[in-house]
Amino acid sequence: MTQPKVLILRTAGTNCDAETDTAFQFAGAETALVHIQNLISGKVNLSDYQILAIPGGFSYGDDISAGILLAVEMKHKLTDAVNRFVGDGKLVIGICNGFQVLVRTGLLPGVSTSANGTSQMTQRATLAMNTSAKFECRWVDLETQESPCVFTKNIKPSVYFPVAHAEGRFTAPADVLAELEANNQVVFRYAESEYPKNPNGSDADIAGICDTTGRIFGLMPHPERFLTKWNHPRWTRFSQAQDTATEEGDGLAIFKNAVNYVKANL
């Protein structure tokens, strides 16, 4: 395999697909922007790819609730394809609206298994309205947690990413939160609990989680918006030492990790 292949899923209202495409190309992947109808119709086969990326935006205008209509399409029209993709040990990342989709499909915190051994996508958490009751658009400090997440292997202990969402408050029943903690499925937390450092009031300051395998990852902040130092909001104030230290932004490592994992394992 010369280049891992990434399918970047898009539909009406998706608006971060170009940035996600650039991020994976910077990381060395071959990318394709694919409308969901081309998957549903069979024109494009999900199994031809090793990474599925669901980018941010406002899919279907976030009618009813953020990400829910795209989640319904995936859950009821692409169940077999998605289950097969996940079962083959491939990677999935959902960013912002994509995280909302993964949670509403049940792919995060993780697909459960029924008594007869079949996989079930059941929603067990949600991304609710921010406690500020408004759209939050700001850069935030995140603390990287110990987790099995493929995408954050050896990443910096603290990173700086922008958020842009109105429904980013991760919340779940106490037993689900306890399960996430016990399994080390929390990948990122907001560095501080107080608003605006925690921009949405998430339970336990959760900004991103993975499934128990570490191969499915969702987060509200946007790593694809910090790929180079020039994306940093204060890049003009960097010292010369900072200038020469690295050209990469904090987010690029997430996409490189995914590409390197595929190269090594699939």
Q: Which of 19, 136, 167, 224 is catalytic?
A: 224
**8 A C-beta contact, residue 202 and residue 171:** yes
**Which residues, at least 6 apart from 167, have a Cβ–Cβ distance to it below 8 Å?**
62, 65, 66, 100, 127, 128, 129, 130
d(CA 127, CA 202): 8
Helices (H), the chain: 17-26, 36-40, 68-77, 79-87, 97-105, 174-182, 240-245, 252-265
d(CA 183, CA 19): 31
Tokens of 139: 């850069």
**8 A C-beta contact, residue 205 and residue 169:** no
d(CA 153, CA 146): 9
Catalytic: 222?
yes
**8 A C-beta contact, residue 201 and residue 131:** yes
Question: Of 240, 250, 249, which is closest to residue 188 (Cα–Cα)?
Answer: 250
3-class secondary structure, 92 = strand
d(CA 153, CA 136): 28
Q: Which of 16, 165, 167, 222 is catalytic?
A: 222
DSSP states of 54-79: E--B-GGGG-SSTTHHHHHHHHHHSH
Element (H, E) at 169: strand 169-171
Q: Which of 16, 19, 96, 167 is catalytic?
A: 96
Catalytic: 137?
no
Catalytic: 96?
yes
Instruction: Return the active site residues.
Output: 96, 222, 224
